[in-house]
Every structure is written in C-alpha cells, then in structure tokens.
Structure 1
Amino acid sequence: MPRAFFAIALPEPARNALILARDTILDSDPSWAGEKWVQPANLHITTLFLGEMTENGLRDAADAARRALADMTPYLVSIDSVRATPSLRAASMLWATPSTASDPTAGLASLLASACTSCRPPARHRGFTTHVTLCRTRERRRISAEAIDAAASQLRSQGDSASVSVAAVTLFTSTLTKRGPIYDQYAVIPLAG
C-alpha cells in the first residue's frame, strides 16, 4: 500500500534555485556530500502527511481537500531562507523556508488536516512549518552558520525564481525503493477562491 501526502509542487525555477542553495552548502562544507540530499524532482512543500492509504482512502482524501480548499485564494510564497533543524550543532535536516512569518501555507495545512481527520490515522500534533526538505542526515551533525547563511544569500539572489505561486495542492503517493522514493501525482486540487 503506498504512502500518501499533500504537497505544493515546485516549479522548475524554484527547484533550480534550491539546487544552487544546496551546491552553496556543499561548496562551504564538502563533508555534507555523503548525506541524503533530496532529488531535485522530489523537492516540494509537504502540507499534510497521510500515511499508508488504500485507493478508497486516496479518493476520500482528494474529495475532502476539494471541499476544504474551495474558497481559498491562490497566494505567493517566497522560499528565501535556509535553516538546520533542530539546530546548527545537531542538524538532522536542512530546510529551505520562507523568511516571513505571514505565510498562508500554515492555514492551508490546517484546512487539509481538519478536512482529512477521517481519512488518516490519528497523528500526534506537531507544529507546522512551511519548508522544503533539502537534506536528511544519517546521524545528527554540526553545520556552520556560514554555510547556512551563504545558502540563504544564494536563494535571495535568485529573486522571483525562489517564489512559488500556490494555486493548487497535489495529492502524491510515494513508493519507497532502494534508490529513494518515487512520487506519483494522484490528484491536483486547485485553490478556487
């Protein structure tokens, strides 16, 4: 049974900007080259993870999302910052994030979570942060503030390329393979507001 999640798909210019940010990190700290970097085609903003889903569950989740997002207005989000999470001293992931706190993606994620309560197993609540996962580490490790700052500067220098016009949310299925996950679009749900 495939895993499923809702996400904001990134256009090619945004993915290219994120690849340049990744390359900047690797230029600053080549020891990160052996970590698990997300493949460019798989870069996205996850808005709700659903877990393993049957075909009926996928259909129900897509229908619930259509109803929940029917009145939401499209918006723009700028991915112009980079952070190590949970900290620079013990990073388990590197994220690209918006630098502004006024990002409507948290509201979108909340609408999806409320709409899909019956479509997925109960999840423990974690605060939502708009982000694109760039890298997962094999073990927590240190990264320099200089590498993070350089990557963020690289993103900001890309201007509009690092901005994403959010006019739809995609329901993806994910199949894990030895070479990494393979994502398939199940449904694209437009923001119709």
Structure 2
Amino acid sequence: MGINQRWSGEGAIRAFVAVPLPEDARSCVEGVQRRLRGFAGVKWVEPENFHVTLRFLGNSPPELVQRLAQTLLRTLSDQKAFSLTLAGVGAFPSARRPQAIWVGVSEGKSRLEELARITEESAVASGFAPEERPFRAHLTIGRVKASPAPSGLSAAIMAEAEGAEIATITVENVVLMQSELRRSGPIYTPIECFPLARE
C-alpha cells in the first residue's frame, strides 16, 4: 500500500529507510542476543524489528515522506541486489562504555554504503535537512538502559567482537518504514518497498 493510501496529510510521521532482514537471518542474529541476554539493564530489540538503517528521518510531514518515497522509487531502481554478510559485535560509543549494542557488517559493506549515500542524497533532494553524522553500517540488537553498564557486559561484547560470520543475506529490497513508539516497544510498519534490480 503506497503512502497516498495510508495518510491524508495530517500529523507527523516518524520514519526511517532501512534494509530488512529475512527470517532465517533474524534467527541467526537472535542467537547472538541469547548469548548476551543474561545482563540486566538492557532493552533488547525484538527479532521481527531487526533491520539495517540507511537513514533515520525522525518526525516528518507526510508530504515530505511522500516526496522521498517518490524519489527513492526512481533513484534506487537501477541499483542491483547484492550479498551482505553480518559478522562481529560492537557497541556505541565503545564496548567499554556501551549504550547501543550492534552486529557489524563485513562483505557487502561498500554496496551498503552506496545505498546509504543514494538515500541521503534523495532525502536532501526531497527537502530533508542533511544528516550530520557519517553513516556507520550496523544492526542494533540492544540498548543499554542502566548507568553504568552492567558489570561484565563490556567483556562479553568484546568476546563477541571478532566473532565468526553470523549470517549472509541477499539485499533485494529497501523499505521506507513508519515507527510508532509505544510503551511495549516500537511498532514498525512498511510504508513503501523499493525492489533492487536482479543481477
């Protein structure tokens, strides 16, 4: 269902552009979570919400989101599908002071960065302010709510840091998502899907 059918132009939409994960890859990433779940004070991302963010849009007017959707349909149409390998675990701002725990990207990273560049250029062309932070390819799996971080969490993250390959996916689609923040956790709803060209 396109954005024209979903909104009449009233109110702001909290949205982002991302690469979704297929179910088998979500199960592999969930295995990493399970090895770290013994620590209190961490809010873990639900597996159905796993994704690699290309551009966070924040709360935006529907007409701006619609314009971006139309732009991405054009700018992403000639991008080819590619393999992306998830590997290693880390944290922002660092494993010693973890606030967000993530799974990293190895193979396919340059292609992912290219998608992020195209998405950023499309967002700016559609009227969004430029993103000041550089793109860092990652998949967030948990957010640390406790301060300081639970004892032993840093060591556990560093033990996973040089881990083996977690999953390899074929990036075939980019999705524009709505994010609704609720007490039980965010609800993500696809607004528009942008298929990449097949090899």
TM-score (norm 1): 0.85
Distance across 2 between alignment mates of 1:44 and 1:101 = 15
Distance across 2 between alignment mates of 1:66 and 1:165 = 19
Matched, 1:22 2:33: yes
Distance across 2 between alignment mates of 1:53 and 1:102 = 28
Matched, 1:189 2:199: no
Q: Which residue of 2 aligns with 1:56?
A: 63
How big is the shift at 1:137? Answer: 1.1
Distance change >3 Å, CA 72–CA 190, structure 1 → 2: same
Which of 111, 114, 119 is residue 104 of structure 1 equivalent to?
111
Q: Which residue of 1 aligns with 2:169?
A: 164
Indicate the structure with greater helix content. 1
CA contact (8 A) 2:50 2:139 kept: yes
Over the residues paired in the alignment, what is the CA RMSD in angstroms?
2.1
Q: Which residue of 1 aligns with 2:141?
A: 134
TM-score (norm 2): 0.83
Which SS does the other structure have where 1:185 is aligned? strand
Matched AA of 1:149: A
How big is the shift at 1:192? Answer: 2.5
Distance change >3 Å, CA 111–CA 179, structure 1 → 2: same
Structure 1 stretches of 4+ moved >6 Å: none
Distance across 1 between alignment mates of 2:184 and 2:126 = 29
Deviations 1:79-138, CA, capped at 9 Å, x for gaps: 111112221211111110113585310110000100111435424421111111011111
Matched AA of 2:193: V
Deviations 1:127-176, CA, capped at 9 Å, x for gaps: 111111011111352633444434763x63x5xxx112111100000111
- How many residues align? The count is 184
Which SS does the other structure have where 2:26 is aligned? helix
Which SS does the other structure have where 2:124 is aligned? coil
How big is the shift at 1:36? Answer: 1.1
Distance across 2 between alignment mates of 1:113 and 1:102 = 16
Distance change >3 Å, CA 51–CA 120, structure 1 → 2: farther
Unaligned segments of structure 1, at least 5 residues: none
CA contact (8 A) 1:91 1:140 kept: no
How big is the shift at 1:54? Answer: 3.0
